[in-house]
Structure 1
């Protein structure tokens, strides 16, 4: 005998202004769309958090927050819900923190379909479970039609940095090598194609994924790992420039070593974009001492999120903050900071 299908408390198929008014309609929206899925502990206006990791002498709390306005909200390889969880988990993990808890706030446009919200929330819960974190509190607001673009999501994350762990870009030293965990530019190219403005046809999917498990595997194999940065807005080029400036070193990368799909290269050539600046949502760059490079690469390649890991360059003595690339033809090219935005609303 099959279980009866629960009857929805929501009327219609879209959000109305009544769902933001603080009454029964809002309570039904919050419970049926959000709390029935996330199942936060308790029903207060705050989450009360405990973890054994907090009791370790020398442990540090890490806190991050980010807002997500990606357009379109659903794209090959993910959606705004998945990217909201991955982005916040990764911001904690690249600093050496073990992510534990997330909050999630939603700005919902009047007229947004309940089906879209259900998909987003299901993606968030699935990614949170995969990353080993809990969504423990949140908020919803409804705005008038035209005041937003379907739904915007803001997530904050709390994690714990274990005693003795110190991952900061300022720790990078000349001679350290730069590693990436996989191909570059997939997310930016995916979003561009998904918008349909350029009539592009491609099978590229976003690399959107949580990287905390990968980073823990690298740290087990290469405990001297200096620093990591997820190459999101502004791509690999921006991440490397930030790290070089923080460490006061020069960084040189090798174009022949960069893992790029032929499809991404093709999209960039057609549109005059530079793949070094395309956004990623599941790709990081990290620096390790040269003697630990092989161990770190092996650990990355053994992890599902690092199968395409590659050594792409090295930190060097030189003008502080300068990033250069040895090109396919053996010349040197300056890889400067991005001016403006190649592609807005990619996360």
Structure 2
């Protein structure tokens, strides 16, 4: 394939499209079950409950410190399965690329995506490519569907949460949101902060053997505050968070203070929020802190019966309290 940029011919179903799929996508996503000539493929699955998730990715810029849209698509889909208690097995990949997009950049992103699948132990089993006319897209969009298997009978979800349960986070929040924002250079700010984008599978699997695990979620769009509101809304319990205990890196805190953002509402792409029974707290934290992605894991809150309307309440370092309201405006669009 000698072309340097994507043309409309790369999406017309003919030779150029075949060459793009065979010489770029199939080469990087090498998988014996990836049949580029088939309309559908069979995927063998081990026993258990089959879980399916789907997501789309529109991040700008496409490449940022700590990741890119390709790895992000894998991590985001794998993580949604992982926090549901499943072991991811397969992905499908839909690529929407704009006419004129540089093929070298596309190859870098697909190569990164392929590395992320190998690290997560998943295979791309099927896919599709569409070329958009120049000006009709943001360069490159990706859409993925993930298939995983969860142990039969595993009880994990918001319905399992009880008053008195503890809330944990696996590491500092807001890294991804601020790293992408700095990469855009729209505020004249620069820094060396990297996105936390990564698979959380080691973190979730470390907790699956612990009695008292109730619920897990990855705090992506809307960040920790949005997960807190999801818990409150689903359980009818008050969630009391201690701001002094929530890990936030100093560069993230400094950027947020300068620009008026709240790090609790910014996206993470490699963190887990977990709710556990009180007696499981120390074991869960110890399990996380033994892992590279969980060394800064922290106990950040407690759930309690509500006296009026269930709320997520943040206790400030000065001893005051404020309600973490549900997100309305999007502070950082196209963040994932």
- Shorter-chain-normalised TM-score: which range? over 0.9
How many Å apart are 1:165 and its aligned residue?
1.1
Mapped partners of 1:206, 1:176: distance in 2 = 30
1:48 is the counterpart of 2:37: no
Alignment-derived partner of residue 329 in structure 2: 340
Report the CA distance between 1:320 and its aligned residue.
5.4
Say whether residues 1:312 and 2:306 are aligned partners. Answer: no
Shift in Å, 1:136? 1.0
CA–CA distance in structure 2, aligned partners of residues 333 and 74 of structure 1: 36
- Quick one: structure 1 residues 246 and 110, their matched pair in 2 at CA, closer, same or farther if it must change by over 3 Å? same
| Cα drift, residue 75 of structure 1 | 0.1
Whether 2:212 is the aligned partner of 1:218: answer: no
**Unaligned 5+ runs, structure 1:** 1-9
- Aligned partner (choices 103, 128, 144) of residue 155 of structure 1: 144
Q: 2:272 aligns with which of 270, 281, 284?
A: 284
Q: CA deviation at 1:42?
A: 5.0
> Residue 49 of structure 2 corresponds to which residue in structure 1?
60
2:34 touches 2:126 (CA, 8 Å); kept in 1? no
Please give the TM-score of this superposition, normalised by the length of structure 1. Answer: 0.94
1:246: Cα distance to partner?
A: 1.2
Deviations 1:94-153, CA, capped at 9 Å, x for gaps: 111111110000000001111111111111111111111111110000011111111100
- Match of residue 7 from structure 1: none
Could you say which residue in structure 2 is the equivalent of 1:32?
23
Per the TM alignment, residue 287 of structure 1 is displaced from its structure 2 partner at its CA by 0.4
Alignment of 1:36-185 (within 5 A): 36-40=27-31, 41-43=33-35, 44-51=38-45, 53-54=46-47, 59-185=48-174
Name the structure 1 match of 2:242. 254
Indicate which of 13, 31, 35 corresponds to 1:22.
13
Q: RMSD of aligned C-alpha atoms?
A: 1.1
Normalised by the length of structure 2, the TM-score is 0.97
Which of the numbers 233, 249, 259 marks the counterpart of 2:221? Answer: 233
1:206 alignment partner, SS class = coil
* Distance in 2, Cα, partners of 1:143 & 1:24: 18
In the TM superposition, what whole-angstrom CA distance separates every residue of 1:12-42 from its partner, at most 9, and x where no partner exists?
2110111011110000001111011112415
| Pairwise CA distance, 1:49 | 0.9
Give the C-alpha shift of residue 47 in structure 1.
2.4
Secondary structure of 1:226's counterpart equals strand
1:207-240 Cα deviation digits (max 9, x unpaired): 00111121011122x2320001110000100011
SS at match of 2:148: strand
Question: What are the superposed Cα offsets for residues 181-206 of structure 1, whole Å, 9 maximum, x if unpaired?
Answer: 00010000011110011011211100
Give the conservation status (yes or no) of the 8 Å contact 1:246–1:321. Answer: no
Query: Is 1:273–2:267 an aligned residue pair?
Result: no
Indicate if the aligned counterparts of 1:258 and 1:310 stay in contact, CA closer than 8 A. Answer: yes
Q: Secondary structure at the match of 1:207?
A: coil
Partner of 2:180: 191
Change in Cα spacing, 1:96 to 1:321, as seen in structure 2 (3 Å) is farther
User: Aligned residue pairs: how many?
Assistant: 332
The 4+ residue runs of structure 1 with deviation greater than 3 A are none
